[in-house]
Amino acid sequence: MATDINAPVDNSDPPAASGYPGGGYAVSTDNSSRRKLYSRLFYLLCVLISGLSVVVLGVLLVSIGWQGHSRLTWDLLQNSHSELNPESSGMWPSIIGSVFICGICAASALPLGIGTAIFLEEFKPASKPLRMLHSFIQLNISNLAGVPSIVYGLLGLSLFVFMFNVFGRIQVNESSGTELFGVSHYYQVLSLAGGGHTVLIPQEDESQKTIKIDEPTQAVSRDGETFELAIWDPASGQPKPSDPEVRKRTVRKGQGGGAYSETEWYYLRLPFGKSFLAAGLTLSLVILPIVIIASQEALRGVAPSLREASFGLGSTKWQTVRHVSLPAAMPGIMTGAILAMGRAIGEAAPILVVLGAAVAKNSGPQNLMDNVVTMPVLIFNWAGRQQAAYQELAAAAIIVLLAVLLLMNSAAIYLRQKMRVG
């Protein structure tokens, strides 16, 4: 199609303009040479302005490479952000964070998006009101694609982080919302062993944040075994136990302890709070319209004859979708999905809104409710600082981010090529 349109136009490029059939007539009037001049000038303008985008891209890549190449070391990939020591700051936690968030995002946006696309493309209703609903959904999706990502961020903040405060609010050291599973609450009490050795006492009343040990109770060691906690009362005149093993199971009478929670990786609570689960789900809202539109285009590209053949063999609508349309459209859908994930990895605004701007985190997420740092947020933080060292780090982190994107896009192109062969 593209080449069909271009073919005759290409032949009439200004250099070839002398080939006009009416050339003799045109030359004889004054205004024709002016018109040809305009045409040539316009062509020149087109070339210049189109070339501009190539130049801009070149300047962008060169300037960032120039600024960041000196920081592109293993330190950058292995270390975490440091306020005091920009020389050895790195982005390892942010890489892990981006991967986790994108995983959540893909797991929620892809099924939802592909399902919607199948519904819109394969199950077109016949009755009038349903058809109107259908086209309304379609219009709505195009509109969602135009909503600024930061508005999705605010939606994520209300919907996932606070859940409209239905389940209570999460406040540090006061309330952790409604906890579903994966967490056990303890009091942490110093034992006699010294060196900061502590024992854990199961918490019964969650509203009570501290405890005072006056009598022997059940306790749990750090290794998870339950034992009877002994009490040593200095006032009683008994000597302090000398055996280190006994000391580990004994606390001073009147010793206080604070609340302590131990979480498993599947720890889940409502609302989600500033967690990477909430961030991933928010991001899935951002890329959902992109996934839907790409999948729709892929499904539209499946030849109708394939479906008709399937119907002719007596398959039902769902069987046709499941075994004919969907496999045929799969390469296109996957290409669109990878491009959407590329968008998700580079997206900073919604994550900034949901997780906040803090970047001081030195590991990946420990459980589903843990906060993370992502690459774009880290870049934003570094780029906003005055020190030259952080500016260079930002450029180096951008190089890493662009490399990841390049990798993903190559995968998409590879899939597209493979689809053509198939």
Partner 1 sequence: MVALLALCALMTIGITVGIIVMLIGESWNFIQSKYVSLSGFLTGTEWTALQSKDIEKAEFGIWPLLSGTLRVTVIAMCIALPCGLITAIFLSEFASSRVRAILKPTLEVIAGIPTVVLGYFAVLVVSPSLQFFSGGGFDTFNATSAGIAVGILCLPMVSSLSEDALHAVPRALREGAYGLGCTPFETAVKVVVPGALSGIISAFLLAFSRAIGETMVVALAAGTRATFTADPREQSQTMTGFIVEMIKSENEYGTVQYFSLYAVAMTLFVITFGMTLVGQLIRRRYQEVYS
Interaction residues for partner 1, span 101-160 (CB under 8 A): 111-113, 115-116, 118-120, 123, 136-137, 139-152, 154-155, 158-159
Among 178, 311, 409, 419, binds partner 1 (CB under 8 A): 409
- Strands 256-270 and 170-171, sheet pairing: unpaired
- Strands 250-252 and 256-270, sheet pairing: unpaired
- The tokens of 83 are what? 């306020």
CA 67 vs CA 61, 89, 289, 385: distances in Å: 10, 16, 36, 15
To partner 1, the closest distance from the beta carbon of 395 in angstroms equals: 7
Compute φ and ψ for 199, nearest 5 degrees: -120, 160
Q: Which CB atom, from 25 or from 227, has the smaller least distance to partner 1?
A: 25
Among 99, 402, 411, 419, binds partner 1 (CB under 8 A): 402
**Binding positions for partner 1, 33-72, rule CB under 8 A:** 35-36, 38-39, 41-43, 45-47, 49-50, 52-54, 56-57, 59-60, 63-64, 67
Say whether residue 285 binds partner 1 (CB under 8 A): yes
Among 106, 294, 347, 373, binds partner 1 (CB under 8 A): 347
Binding range to partner 1, per CB under 8 A, among 76-84, 214-222, 228-236, 398-406:
398-406
Cα diameter, the chain: 125
Let me know: does 222 contact 282? Beta carbons within 8 Å: no
- Strands 250-252 and 226-232, sheet pairing: parallel
- The tokens of 390 are what? 């952080």
Among 287, 326, 379, 393, binds partner 1 (CB under 8 A): 379
Q: Which CB atom, from 145 or from 231, has the smaller least distance to partner 1?
A: 145
- Strands 256-270 and 226-232, sheet pairing: unpaired
Residue type, 202: P
To partner 1, the closest distance from the beta carbon of 343 in angstroms equals: 8
For helices 30-68 and 388-421, angle between their N-to-C axes, nearest 10 degrees: 120
Q: Say how far apart CA 221 and CA 201 lie, in whole Å.
A: 9
To partner 1, the closest distance from the beta carbon of 36 in angstroms equals: 6
Q: Which CB atom, from 141 or from 192, has the smaller least distance to partner 1?
A: 141
Q: Which CB atom, from 41 or from 360, has the smaller least distance to partner 1?
A: 41
Is the previous residue joined to 271 through a cis bond, with omega within 30 degrees of 0? yes
Say whether residue 313 binds partner 1 (CB under 8 A): no
Q: Say how far apart CA 383 and CA 352 lie, in whole Å.
A: 14
To partner 1, the closest distance from the beta carbon of 114 in angstroms equals: 8
Runs of H (alpha helix) within 301-387 = 304-312, 317-320, 326-346, 349-355, 375-383
Residue type, 225: E
**Binding positions for partner 1, 213-272, rule CB under 8 A:** none
Torsion angle in degrees (nearest 10) through CA of 312, 315, 319, 320: 10
Q: Say how far apart CA 308 and CA 19 lie, in whole Å.
A: 49
To partner 1, the closest distance from the beta carbon of 315 in angstroms equals: 14
To partner 1, the closest distance from the beta carbon of 90 in angstroms equals: 18
Binding range to partner 1, per CB under 8 A, among 89-97, 189-197, 257-265, 341-349:
341-349
To partner 1, the closest distance from the beta carbon of 311 in angstroms equals: 16
Q: Which CB atom, from 77 or from 145, has the smaller least distance to partner 1?
A: 145
**Binding positions for partner 1, 5-34, rule CB under 8 A:** 5-6, 8-10, 12-14, 17, 20, 22, 26
Say whether residue 315 binds partner 1 (CB under 8 A): no
